[in-house]
Structure 1
Amino acid sequence: MKLAWQDSDVLDMPTLGTRVTAFDGLTEVPGGYGAKLAWARNQAKVFRSEFTATGTPDSVATCDLITLPYPTKFGLFRASRAIAPFLSITNRMLVVRWTESDGRRRVLLFEPSDHELGQNTPYFAALIRRTPKPLQSLLTTEHGTVLGHLARLGIKPEDVDYLLFDHLHTQDLRRWVGTVRPQADLGGDVQPAFPNAKVIVQRHELMAMSQLHPLQQPWYQPETYQDVRPDAFLAVDGSLILGPGVAVVETPGHVLGNQTLVLNTSTGIWASSENVIAAECLTPEHSKMPGIARWARTWQQEVVLNANTIETTVDQYNSLVIEKTLVDRSQTDPRFLQFFPSSELTASWANPGTSPTFTHKAIAHS
């Protein structure tokens, strides 16, 4: 499949921010995945001490978008003994603002999902077709829209500098960044809702979109990227400090180009991605959900993956340990960490055995 940016120099664009060198050298680590795990844990400690010295952003706000069903076998990979085949997750957007050293103000949207178009993702489209409409309305709750939340926060779309996703599963960005040709399903020409925003994406994932592996195909909408504006993308390689207390850390595994937002706030360091769907999946020994603690104890595994696509499972485990090492403990309940799932497990009457032991629901910083 030919994509618009393949005729441009988008993949050669200079990166932004300051490169994080703490995670360089992983491919040169001698030994197997166990050696790489030890190295990753150590380097996360190195970066943690460096990152706290960068300062804090001006503000972080959390915006609920949609709660929807998700297979238990994916979200609580191998560990859950719940009888419910589905659990519920809530997708949220983080709005991060900071001031550069030269006084310029920046606005970053993390996970600004266009959930209306996201429903066309092959996996979810098939699930919707199999679910009666009355049941759909019971299991899915729309909380707000990206543009509606920004208006509430007093942010104009043209003031948004960056869009960031931990990965591009389910994402259709056409209404956010515009297209170079009319789109029949969207009524013709598509002007960007965020005319000045750049999408920060790992080069690995962007390049993979033109030729997906069969295991990836249910979760992407590659055809929606054929005509997107190529100058809307900032293809980056690895981890970057974007601003005071704001970083993107490469965390491959869930997809090859996975990335994690890391924030230094008034309560300490947070990380956010979809590598797990609940904070307790990073400290499963404290989970009260059926099977989770026992599974972790039996198999001596310290994390429970979110594994709808198992692209490189061991890498995802190692990436989770990086996230786990970077963050601080929750001030609400120190058994759990300040890891904020971009899609967080949410209790639902329809899904017995999947009610989380602990939820964050939001990151607040100002």
Structure 2
Amino acid sequence: MVLRWTAEDLSDLSSVGNGIDVLERECTGGPGDRLRAARSAGADFRREFAATGMPQRIDTCDLVTLPYPTRFGLFRASRAIAPFLSITNRMLVIRWTDVDGRQRVLLFEPSDVGLGRNTPYFAELARRTPAPIIKRMVIEHGSVLGHLAGLGIAPADVDYLVFDHLHTQDLRHWVGTTAYQPDLGEQPTAVFPNAKVIVQRDELIGMSDLHPLQTPWYQPQTYRDIPVEVFAPIDGSVLLGPGIAVIKTPGHVFGNQSLVLNTSTGIWVSSENVIAAECLTPEHSTLPGLTRWSSSWQQEVVLNANTIETTADQYNSVVLEKTIADRSQTDSRFLQFFPSSELTPMWTNPGTRPTFSHHAITHQS
């Protein structure tokens, strides 16, 4: 046990948002029934969600572009010769007004890029890769605090931190610790003193006893001295504000979740369940292998599969996301699915140039 807090500690914490009943229907049937249930629930939720309103503003902030194994990002479908592709991690900044008139700010995927490098998988990859190559393949675009300053948002004004899952995430700078951290040479005070971390309860509980499939991607020891009260654990899907929801999408990890946004261009969904919009409609992809693989195996989506905790659940979750998202107004072959880590063309990675990219979600009401 690495964590000091337990499931009992988490049970005493207050949660946030209002539960979304249409996504909480229990399906007791077989695998095919669960897939059909996900598609049906997504269609029902989509109709209801559009009527909840819209946030005031959404901004997209590029953080870092980094290498990622092709066999993970495009699962078994890619025929690219490059062993690595590149993905760009981005933060979304969402602002809205609550029913009581209070201004709210949510950060989706505010990754601490520096501390994220200590994730076991990436630390080992860096150890085996010559520094000049790392310098050419890893591009830092901006920091979380730098982007917020540019948007005129003070750290104390941030209400919520949300991640689709806690792979690679070290939150100590963001929420502070209760003890001195030898590896940091300090006891961090919270950069975001008023922020709650919205996370699925079962992911927090699972981090206390990781499965070997999970250990390369988590940093559980960094949560040991995080005060438990910074978390706002949720069980399932919740509506946070007008046109803002966090929905449970298990599979990539047990406690995976996705952000859903209603905007002036329609409904968007964001997560890391897939790394490119075309992975939801691979029949339109020009990436080597995707269309043929999808057709041959009768699989309508191509998963991001660095961890295969419950692959059928992840497939169903992507179908749920696919059912909720609107068509892109730029190219209707693709959906308004915004990968939190989006496939990015890089000259070093032949055969991995995406057919279509979103780059950003922008919205202002």
2:23 counterpart residue number: 23
The whole-number CA distance in structure 2 between the counterparts of 1:340 and 1:87 is 18
Task: Write out aligned runs for 1:198-213 (5 A).
Answer: 198-213=196-211
Instruction: Say if 1:7 and 1:336 are closer, same or farther in 2 by CA, change over 3 A.
Output: closer
1:153 counterpart residue number: 151
Report the residue type matching 2:273 in the other structure: N
Q: How many residues align?
A: 364
Q: Retained in 1: the 8 A contact 2:2–2:221?
A: no
1:53 counterpart residue number: 51
Shift of 1:10: 3.0
Q: 2:306 aligns with which of 301, 305, 308?
A: 308
The answer to whether residue 220 in structure 2 is matched with residue 222 in structure 1 is yes
1:364 counterpart residue number: 362
Q: Retained in 2: the 8 A contact 1:71–1:85?
A: yes
Cα deviation digits, residues 136-194 of structure 1 (max 9, x gap):
00001000000000000000000000000000000000000000001112122110000
The whole-number CA distance in structure 1 between the counterparts of 2:93 and 2:154 is 12
User: Any gaps of 5 or more consecutive residues in structure 2?
Assistant: none
Partner of 1:91, secondary structure, is strand
The whole-number CA distance in structure 2 between the counterparts of 1:186 and 1:152 is 27
Report the residue type matching 1:158 in the other structure: A
The whole-number CA distance in structure 2 between the counterparts of 1:352 and 1:157 is 40
The whole-number CA distance in structure 1 between the counterparts of 2:227 and 2:323 is 37
Partner of 1:340, secondary structure, is strand
Q: Retained in 1: the 8 A contact 2:275–2:339?
A: yes
Shift of 1:8: 7.0
User: Any gaps of 5 or more consecutive residues in structure 1?
Assistant: none
1:12 counterpart residue number: 12
Instruction: Say if 1:140 and 1:2 are closer, same or farther in 2 by CA, change over 3 A.
Output: closer
Shift of 1:134: 0.5
Report the residue type matching 1:4 in the other structure: R
Shift of 1:313: 0.1
Partner of 2:337, secondary structure, is coil
2:131 counterpart residue number: 133
2:247 counterpart residue number: 249
Task: Please tell me the root mean square deviation across aligned C-alpha atoms, in Å.
Answer: 1.0
2:272 counterpart residue number: 274
Shift of 1:5: 2.6
Identity of aligned residues (%): 67
Task: Write out aligned runs for 1:310-349 (5 A).
Answer: 310-349=308-347
The whole-number CA distance in structure 2 between the counterparts of 1:134 and 1:2 is 35
Cα deviation digits, residues 209-247 of structure 1 (max 9, x gap):
111000000000000010111111011100000000000
Partner of 2:21, secondary structure, is coil
The whole-number CA distance in structure 1 between the counterparts of 2:9 and 2:28 is 32
The whole-number CA distance in structure 2 between the counterparts of 1:227 and 1:8 is 17
1:299 counterpart residue number: 297
The whole-number CA distance in structure 1 between the counterparts of 2:2 and 2:145 is 30
Structure 1 segments, 4+ long, off by >6 Å, are none
The alignment's TM-score, normalised by the length of structure 2, stands at: 0.98
The alignment's TM-score, normalised by the length of structure 1, stands at: 0.98
Shift of 1:315: 0.2
Q: Retained in 1: the 8 A contact 2:54–2:243?
A: yes
